[in-house]
Chain A
Amino acid sequence: MKMDIILQLSLRSIRLHFLRSVLAALGIVIGVVAISSMGMMGANMTMSVTEELSSMANVLVVNPGGGSSSNSGGMMGPGGGSSSSDDDYIDKDQFDDIERAVGKYGIVYPLYQESDTIKIRDEKRRATIYGMRDEDMATILTVDNGTLPQTSSSVVVGPTFAENNDLTIGSRITIGDENDEEAVIQKVRVVGILEEKGMSMDLNSDNAIIMTEKAFTSLYGGEGDYTQVNVILDDIDDADTATAAIEKQLNRKEDEVTVQDSSSMMESITSTVSMMTTFVMAIAGISLLVAATSIFNVMMMSVTERVREIGILRSIGTQKGEVLRMFIYEAVILGLVGAVIGAIMSLLLGWLVVLVMIGTTEYFFTFQSLIYVPVSMAIGIAICVFSGVYPAWRAANLDPIDALRAE
């Protein structure tokens, strides 16, 4: 079966004005590439961040004091460098209450935390120091090299901390400011380097010094006055129930503690990334508007140049609808060609953009990422059709007699 004659006329018109048509389609190519690349970058960023955060999604962090919301999604994890005041801690009784309330949902462990001056090979700096119970260390920490500390003069350090400070097993660290007369000075030896854990809400062990509870309290005092209590849930679906149980147990009369649910933090971060992606895509979308203007211009030129031809077509029995179809076909062909080339280029450029911006293409060939290619193609084609409607309508509604008179 031969091709529709109206479609043939559209194709031949495009071929006759090849350069002009290519330039118009190029606008669509750029628009499709811009939108899909940005979309894919956003999707890859979201998936990358989500993956990183999901490892800590099953964590509840219980901080002392009342917060504005128990489920606030703020980034309030330890490792900051805050110094605890006497009232700013969770005491042993409160910890016992928490353990009673949610012990059945997973591991509950208390954490001491301090930020202090340390000295390594005559160089002073600040560091985050955690104190943990021996049994918790064995459960929570994974040593990559060496062993867990057994004495008050031994510590483990995170891999980032060890790398940044050139620490190995046996390296010595002086904790406390030697210039401060009131400060307690403790010389410790690194007995273990932890396995890399990544970003975490409960314990940022990668860039910290971790010592036993005894060592910590002998340095800073406050035995049984925990900086925070962490709950590692066996099942992430228990997050709401566990949060409610802690609040019911401790916040009955006044807000004694604040419970942070990491899933809400994740939602907040992914929603921010999505918002940024949408914004960047909207900017990229401007290129499609430019393309739309170009297509409109080409179509109007095509109609103007072919007024006489339209008059001939109408006078020998071509319906208005067929003339309309002829010009819409032209717009669709330009859009389709632009969109297909744009889609192929999107895959190449998008892959490069993702590699450069995110650092990994692990999530590139996923549905969430690649869906932006057909979506941007559809937008590109739709914009072409939209741009072609008025010129096509104008062509279809030309008066045959006037059109035949055109030079």
Chain B
Amino acid sequence: MTAVPVIELSDVSKIYPLASGDVVALDHLSIRIERGEFVAIMGPSGSGKSTLLNQIGGLDVPTSGILRITGKNIRKMSDEKLTDLRLNTIGYIFQRFNLIPLLSAYENVEYPYILKHRCNDTTGRVSNLLNEVGINKRLAEHKPEELSGGQQQRVAVARALVNDPAILICDEPTGNLDTKTGGQIMDMLKDLHRQERTIIIVTHDPLIGERAERIIRIRDGKVENA
């Protein structure tokens, strides 16, 4: 019996109907990503990378084809189920960090935990994760705007991991960071990969791409090589 791939796209298309004519963002795409893989999705601007990431991140659903995440066809899911999928199965790391400005660093990490468990973290998981990504207790009390870009991205990594997701999706995670800090974030992702997490990273930086196990190149909504 073969293992169920963590992500499986079969003949997936995403078409945006516009007044000026339909825009085909993904064109009959078929991709398979196995559990524990570290995959980089690369391609020029407008190639469909972000659209693909939105589909496999459960933020959007394909127009046609089959997209299975951990074996579940997301096209058949209600908005509520898709939201649950994002909460429990997927951890998202954004280029612009996307922390909640009203909450402290600690609360940002604890927020998805509370949504999932319906209670505050009493296990110390949030504090441990923040420690692991290099955010001390004092920094954890700060609001995102009081942290540097690198610190914010570390908090974002901790937030993405708090519900122990099966897939970690990273959208240009070093795009807003200097080379040194970007390198540190990539080291953290490599460490997470060693812990057998599935990591999918979208980047246009070849140096980042080289650190992945496999590169999927996208052009005009199609896979150049899988």
Chain A residues within 8 Å of B, Cβ to Cβ: 2, 5, 9, 12-13, 16, 308-309, 311-320, 322, 400-401, 404
A-B contacts besides A316-B92, A317-B87, 7 pairs, CB < 8 Å: A13-B102, A16-B102, A313-B100, A314-B83, A315-B86, A316-B87, A319-B83
With a cutoff of 8 Å between Cβ atoms, the chain B residues found around residue A2 in the complex are 120
A260 to B99, CA, bound (A): 78
Chain A to chain B: the 4 pairs with minimum beta-carbon distance, closest first: A317-B87, A12-B102, A312-B98, A317-B86
A9 → chain B closest CB, angstroms: 6
A393 → chain B closest CB, angstroms: 14
B111-A320 in contact (CB<8A):
no
A316 to B88, CA, bound (A): 9
A150 → chain B closest CB, angstroms: 90
B30 → chain A closest CB, angstroms: 23
A16 to B100, CA, bound (A): 13
With a cutoff of 8 Å between Cβ atoms, the chain A residues found around residue B163 in the complex are 317
Q: A316-B86, A319-B83, A320-B79 are in contact. Are A9 and B102 (CB under 8 A)?
A: yes
Let me know if B197 is at the binding interface, CB within 8 A.
no
With a cutoff of 8 Å between Cβ atoms, the chain B residues found around residue A320 in the complex are 79-80, 83
A312-B100 in contact (CB<8A):
yes
With a cutoff of 8 Å between Cβ atoms, the chain B residues found around residue A5 in the complex are 107, 111, 114-115
A315-B98 in contact (CB<8A):
yes
B78 → chain A closest CB, angstroms: 10
A317-B112 in contact (CB<8A):
yes
Q: What is the interface residue range for chain B against chain A?
A: 20 to 34
A101 to B98, CA, bound (A): 91
B102-A400 in contact (CB<8A):
no
A285 to B169, CA, bound (A): 53
Let me know if B84 is at the binding interface, CB within 8 A.
yes
Chain A at the B interface: SS class = helix
Interface residues of B in 7-39 (CB under 8 A from A): none
B101-A309 in contact (CB<8A):
yes
A318-B102 in contact (CB<8A):
no
A5 to B177, CA, bound (A): 30
A2 to B122, CA, bound (A): 11
Let me know if B220 is at the binding interface, CB within 8 A.
no
A-B contact pairs, 17 of them (CB 8 A): A12-B103, A13-B102, A308-B98, A312-B98, A313-B100, A315-B59, A315-B86, A316-B86, A316-B87, A316-B92, A316-B111, A316-B115, A317-B115, A318-B115, A319-B83, A320-B83, A400-B59
With a cutoff of 8 Å between Cβ atoms, the chain B residues found around residue A9 in the complex are 100, 102-103
Q: A9-B102, A309-B102, A315-B98 are in contact. Are A401 and B60 (CB under 8 A)?
A: yes
With a cutoff of 8 Å between Cβ atoms, the chain B residues found around residue A401 in the complex are 54, 59-60
The 8 Å CB contact of B80, one of A312, A315, A319, is A319
With a cutoff of 8 Å between Cβ atoms, the chain B residues found around residue A316 in the complex are 86-87, 92, 111-112, 115, 159
With a cutoff of 8 Å between Cβ atoms, the chain B residues found around residue A312 in the complex are 98-100
Closest to B91 in A: A316
Q: What 1/0 mask marks residues of chain B from 157 to 176 whose CB sits below 8 Å from any chain A CB?
A: 00100010000000000000
With a cutoff of 8 Å between Cβ atoms, the chain B residues found around residue A404 in the complex are 59, 94, 98
Let me know if B194 is at the binding interface, CB within 8 A.
no
Q: A401-B59, A401-B60 are in contact. Are A317 and B83 (CB under 8 A)?
A: yes
B43 → chain A closest CB, angstroms: 18
With a cutoff of 8 Å between Cβ atoms, the chain A residues found around residue B137 in the complex are none
Q: What 1/0 mask marks residues of chain B from 45 to 68 whose CB sits below 8 Å from any chain A CB?
A: 000000000100101100000000
B73 → chain A closest CB, angstroms: 19
Closest to A397 in B: B79
Interface residues of B in 89-122 (CB under 8 A from A): 92, 94, 98-103, 107, 111-112, 114-116, 120
B16 → chain A closest CB, angstroms: 11
A332 to B101, CA, bound (A): 22
